[in-house]
Amino acid sequence: MTAEIASITANIDTLKADLKEKKTALKKVEKEVASLEAKKAKADAKAAEEAKKAEAEAVLKKLLASGMSADEILERLK
């Protein structure tokens, strides 16, 4: 009986150590995921800003090509 208890205790200790290692690894992965999500959000925001800029440039070129002067365009923007 004593040997069985010692075996179970040793098994519990091993499982506790494994659990601790897995929790540490999980925290590391969670931090990495959070970092990657932040980078993705920043990249998405930059891409959206670039898309807006490209769209604004296209509209400006279209207005200039249609014969509208820069002053008229500025007046419309106000």
The pLDDT profile of the chain, 78 residues, written as one tens digit per residue, is 999 999 999 999 999 999 999 999 999 999 999 999 999 999 999 999 999 999 999 998 988 899 888 888 888 877
pLDDT at 49: 97
| Token pair listed for 45 | 């925001």
Please, which residues have CB within 8 angstroms of residue 73's CB and are 6 or more apart in sequence?
60, 63, 64
Q: Which of these, 44, 20, 21, 40, lies nearest to 32 by C-alpha position?
A: 40
Measure the CA–CA gap between 6 and 71, rounded to whole angstroms: 89
- pTM > 0.85: yes or no: no
Amino acid of residue 73: I
pLDDT at 73: 84
pLDDT at 76: 80
Measure the CA–CA gap between 51 and 45, rounded to whole angstroms: 10
Number of domains in the chain: 1
Segments forming the whole domain that contains residue 59: 2-77
